[in-house]
Amino acid sequence: MASKQPIGYKCCIAGVLLLLLASVAALVAVAVIQDTWRFKDYSSEYGIVIDSGSSRSNIYLYKWPGEKENETGVVTEQMNCKVAGDDGISEMKVDKEKGAKSMAAFEVCIKKITEAIPAEKHKTTTLFLGATAGMRLLQGLDEQRSSEIMEDVREYLSSLPFVFQNASIISGQEEGLYGWITVNYLMGNLLEKNTWNKYVRPQGEKTVGSMDLGGASTQIAFAVQSNLSGPDYLPVKLYGYPYNVYTHSFLCYGKHEAGRMILDKVVRESSDPNYIPNPCYPKGYIVTFNASYIYDTQCNEKPTNYNPDQQLFFVGTGNSDKCLSMVMRIFDFQTCSSTQCSFNGVEQPPVTGDFMAYAGFFYTSSAIGLEGTSDLDQFKALSTKFCEKNWTVLKEEKPSISEKYLRTYCFSSHYVFTLLADGYKFDKEMWKNINFQKQVKDTSIGWSLGYMLSLSNMIPSEVKEIFPMTDPLFAGLIFLFSALIIITVVLVFIFLIRTCY
């Protein structure tokens, strides 16, 4: 029996030591798990961007998770509400009744957007308004009216249950840059999910150039080498990666304003205001405009003895070659003090890679029968064919296009061709890289999404830390294993005392 006692003591001591070590290990494991296995539960963030263009306003609702990928939110479009009417905010304060109708239509969209956002998120939803070329033109024409309109808009937006950030007239460069960001984001060129469902930068870092044709301006933007610099080169950081983007906006060269410049050329070539042949209107089409329709803009110089109420009677002749000649005259392809220019003396590096052409570019190409990619000769041939069709035939073939737009597509097809081929210098090979599209992944292409992506860098996220164990469970386990450690230490002490004495 005496020989077995030391062995029994040794077994007891070993068991107690094992329990001690296990308790210490468990205590450390619980603490480590609670600290390292915790994760952050980010709430969804919402943002509203109002795109106030020269012809209408669109209100976009965006949503993104609070957890951002390398400093930029992963944004998705939740809603696009088109404000009813054909006028942008630049037409406010001209006609009271018209202005009231525009505001009522605006409020209808705001109500729809408000209902789409959870009530508890209203107080954190950011609201921005960006006015584009229509307001840029008005600012140059009548700065006081422009300021009054923007002040009224700010007052109204401030009354909404959101975090109103700003209402401003964005620059042409910003419009071009944000359009480029939108195109590349939607095409997955800035961010993509890998096998592990994590967002990563795509292989090859390939981006696509963007071209936007609005009512009052047109923009081109594409990534260039980092060593190029100048007033039209903008560095931008997205998802933690830097890009150098060439972007330029041509005010007055949007589809509507360019059309008015053409009408000015047509009027000046005619000696009789009661019969003005227009080669860019289809044969058989007639229309009367007040002179103010053509000359109430910063883009055209008013003629001598100008009378805004003078009526001008236009008769379409459908002369494709003469229309193209008229279009060429609104560009200056000769002046250039740089290695290469687009037009009007504006420096531009050579276009490279693929390009997305949207907005007015898409609607024009679609009207003449092209969508997606094409070749230069095909585009030109279809433009000529469209121009030579009689107005009655066009209306029968294109019943879905409103007459006020249908009459413009002879001019605009030649305009798009000249702008891209002679202006931006797309040759036969590069033209094949132009993709005329309205949407990417069911999302409209425009500057507003790119604007939201950029601004999400500055918008704070609500975050709550979620631990793997609840506080009571964590405290209970800490208490249990701490108690076991104390008990085993006491038992070891007792066994040691008994062994020694």
Q: Which helix H or strand E contains 200, and what residues bound it?
A: strand 199-200
In the predicted structure, residue 188 carries a pLDDT above the cut 90: no
Q: Does one domain contain both 49 and 14?
A: no
In the predicted structure, residue 337 carries a pLDDT above the cut 80: yes
User: Is residue 457 domain-resident?
Assistant: no
For range 51-74, the mean pLDDT? 78
Q: Does one domain contain both 46 and 144?
A: yes
**Domain end call among 115, 135, 167:** 167
Per-residue pLDDT tens for 85-133?
Answer: 767 777 776 667 777 888 888 899 999 999 999 999 999 999 999 999 8
In the predicted structure, residue 75 carries a pLDDT above the cut 50: yes
**Domain end call among 133, 167, 201:** 167
φ and ψ at 189, to 5 degrees? -85, -15
- Would you please indicate which residues are annotated as catalytic (active-site) residues? 175
For range 408-435, the mean pLDDT? 98
Collapsing DSSP states into helix, strand and coil, what is residue 68? coil
Collapsing DSSP states into helix, strand and coil, what is residue 378? helix
Q: Check whether 218 is labelled as a binding-site residue.
A: yes
Residue with tokens 């459908």: 318
For range 154-170, the mean pLDDT? 93
> How many C-beta atoms surround the C-beta of residue 22 within 10 A?
14
User: Is residue 119 domain-resident?
Assistant: yes
pTM here is 0.79
Q: Check whether 292 is labelled as a binding-site residue.
A: no
User: Is residue 302 domain-resident?
Assistant: no
Q: Does one domain contain both 34 and 81?
A: no
Helices (H), 129-226: 133-141, 143-158, 172-186
For position 331, what pLDDT does the model report? 98
DSSP state of 349: P
Q: What CATH number does the domain containing 129 carry?
A: 3.30.420.40
DSSP string, 412-478: HHHHHHHIIIIIS---HHHHTTEEE-SEETTEE-SHHHHHHHHHTTTS---EEEE-SS-HHHHHHHH
User: Is residue 231 domain-resident?
Assistant: no
Q: Check whether 217 is labelled as a binding-site residue.
A: yes
User: Is residue 291 domain-resident?
Assistant: no
φ and ψ at 212, to 5 degrees? -120, 130
| CA pair distance 10, 234, nearest whole angstrom | 77
For range 60-84, the mean pLDDT? 79
- The strand pair at 217-223 and 209-213 is best described as antiparallel
Collapsing DSSP states into helix, strand and coil, what is residue 27? helix
User: Is residue 471 domain-resident?
Assistant: yes
| CA pair distance 122, 46, nearest whole angstrom | 9
Q: Does one domain contain both 13 and 93?
A: no
User: Is residue 79 domain-resident?
Assistant: yes
In the predicted structure, residue 171 carries a pLDDT above the cut 50: yes
What would the two tokens of residue 215 be? Answer: 């009512």
Look over the chain and give the mean of its residue pLDDT values, rounded to a whole number: 86
Q: Are 44 and 65 in contact (CB under 8 A)?
A: yes
Q: Does one domain contain both 33 and 70?
A: no
**Domain end call among 167, 201, 217:** 167
Q: Does one domain contain both 60 and 110?
A: yes
What would the two tokens of residue 37 be? Answer: 């296995």
Q: Is 150 or 64 the better-scoring residue by pLDDT?
A: 150
DSSP string, 74-103: --EEEEEEEPSSS--GGGTTT-HHHHHHHH
For the chain, what is the domain count? 2
The proportion of the chain whose per-residue pLDDT surpasses 90, expressed as a percent, equals 58
| CA pair distance 461, 178, nearest whole angstrom | 22
Q: Does one domain contain both 14 and 67?
A: no
Per-residue pLDDT tens for 215-271?
Answer: 999 999 999 988 889 999 999 888 778 899 999 999 999 999 999 999 999 999 999
For range 310-323, the mean pLDDT? 97
| CA pair distance 155, 2, nearest whole angstrom | 97
| CA pair distance 298, 251, nearest whole angstrom | 10
For position 100, what pLDDT does the model report? 81
Q: Does one domain contain both 52 and 18?
A: no
Q: Does one domain contain both 125 and 88?
A: yes
Q: Does one domain contain both 76 and 159?
A: yes
How many whole angstroms from its chain centre is CA 478?
52
Q: Does one domain contain both 11 and 68?
A: no
In the predicted structure, residue 214 carries a pLDDT above the cut 70: yes
Q: Print the domain residue range for 74.
A: 42-167
Nearest 5°: the CA angle 175, 125, 56 is 40
Q: Is 289 or 490 the better-scoring residue by pLDDT?
A: 289
For range 283-289, the mean pLDDT? 97
Q: Does one domain contain both 61 and 33?
A: no
Report the chain's C-alpha Rg in angstroms: 33
- Give helix 360-367 / helix 409-418 axis angle, nearest 10°: 120
Q: Is 366 or 133 the better-scoring residue by pLDDT?
A: 366
